[in-house]
Structure 1
Amino acid sequence: MFPTRLSSLFLDQFRILGYNARMTDAERYLEGRWRRILARTPTRGPSSWLVEFLAFGLKQAWACVFGGALLAVIVAVRLWYPSDAALARNDFLTLAAVAIQVVMVATRLETWRELRVIVLFHVVGTVMEVFKTDVGSWAYGADGVLRIAGVPLFSGFMYAAVGSYLVRVYRLFDLRFTRYPPVWVTAVLAGAIYLNFFTHHYVWDLRWILVAATIVVFGRTVMSFRVFRWTGRMPVLVAFALVAVFIWLAENIATLSGAWSYPDQEGGWQLVSAAKLVSWALLMIISVVLVTWVYPPRAPDDAE
């Protein structure tokens, strides 16, 4: 009995060490402080559940720090930025987004390795923005000079914010995957989804076929995530849907703040169409494939 418990203790500590090794310096410090505080809390009962719930919420908020900061700037500009300022509003948003990204890297909240995939998110998103605005899917204000083909450069940072969230949540929650599909299959699916964002304007829209393909490819995949003491499990399709809902909510705040507008919002703001939830869910597949470039999907320890 004693050797078994001792080996279990060493295995648990080994997992924690490996988990901490993937954190940035700042996150290891905060995680250590958080664990020292929570170590004094009950291990069972309602109090324990509340601790895990709070830890989950705090980690999610921490993972969203880039997107949250950018959204806060967008709202603040809407409320308080002078209309007669020498610097155009869109240019200010671009410079603010750059500043947020610099601070994230300088304070080691993001690693240089993660920055590569975040920049790739920026490029992939900007290419889509240029095309989509050209075909009239949505529109930005015409002010500012920091733009490409009518698209303000801050727009790419909104996609980068999604990338930042995903790479951070991956290590903050030590994500593991059971029955993850072959990476090449997910790459083909992601490529088809990205291509359809362009081609559906000219040929048949394949989004529902792609939704079905996503269900087939990821339908058996389960995600494991570590909170504090508790490790939870969730079908990865449910995770995609939940993230899509939160992005849709952020999109509503951004359009209400005038960052951009859809054609049906030209006469006055209204909720973004719920159909966008499908688009965001599909975009999650592209996002996850990009993140696997930095963090290859790993199986839970008990499955290795």
Structure 2
Amino acid sequence: MFFSVKTIALVASTGLIGASAMTIEERGSSLCNQRNYGAQGYPWQSYSTPGAFCSPQKPSNNKYWKQIPFWDGGDKVRCSGSQRNNYNVCKGGNRHTNLPKKCNPPHRWGGKGNKGPTSTSTKAATSTVVPAASSAAASSAAAASAVDSAVTDATTSTDSTTVTSAAPAASSAPVLVVDPLSDPVCDLSYQVTYLNYTMVAPNGVWAGLTVGSATQDASYMTYTLATSVDDCLRACDQIEGCTFVNTYYDVNEEENYLPKHADGVLTCSMYSSCVGTEKNDNFGGQDDPNTIVNSNGYCKSAACISN
């Protein structure tokens, strides 16, 4: 089998390792020509299936994994065609965008955007103790986190600096207003907007308990699976208009033979606009034994344009 110089160059540019070189040539079956880039249903639906696996090596070769193709470069495959000038992914990449309204992202120590105290003091907040999810859910979360410590590259692979909490501590002292773009935590060209987001489940078997929470939004584009956050972000970079990625573990120990529930495998949910946490919910992880674990948000914001 022979490949053109153009095809070989495209293989190198997409960074694909495990997939055949032929898969990056645009054709009718290319993921970019399929609805939602091959994903069936939405990631929060239990019967859904991902469009592709975007890490170099699948963790299993069972019949379920064989049904999921490797990521083929998304819209990047169009860069070898005559329409390449119509795609930002072929001309320097997707445009950086704004953070969601009221976004309160984590910062590294010593945020440069500190605007100083406000003119008034706030009253001390009243804390409410919220029960954690059941021990079964907790053990699932611990198992998922232990299996793939690589996911910590959300904060450690790009910057070893300690990350501060975005939320101010309850105090009667003046509130410090921090520019959300100052001292950002960046992973590749994406700003981390939240880490391990949780909420109190409004219904389901976890009702009233603190559980993981994932994004649902009309700007949804596709979802893939991966074994590292960076692989998710690189795939988003190859999808025209993709600017936001929500990564999390969709834990279901009774069905961990299925790719989306496999130990150490991330769900990479991708969107065309940066989505705030008000669009996060527990739907899809609200029933035992499903739990959403380590839900993180990554926005292609102007704060990380040089990263």
Higher strand share: 2
Q: Which TM-score tier does this pair reach, normalised by the shorter chain?
A: under 0.3
Please give the TM-score of this superposition, normalised by the length of structure 2: 0.26
Higher helix share: 1
Please give the TM-score of this superposition, normalised by the length of structure 1: 0.27
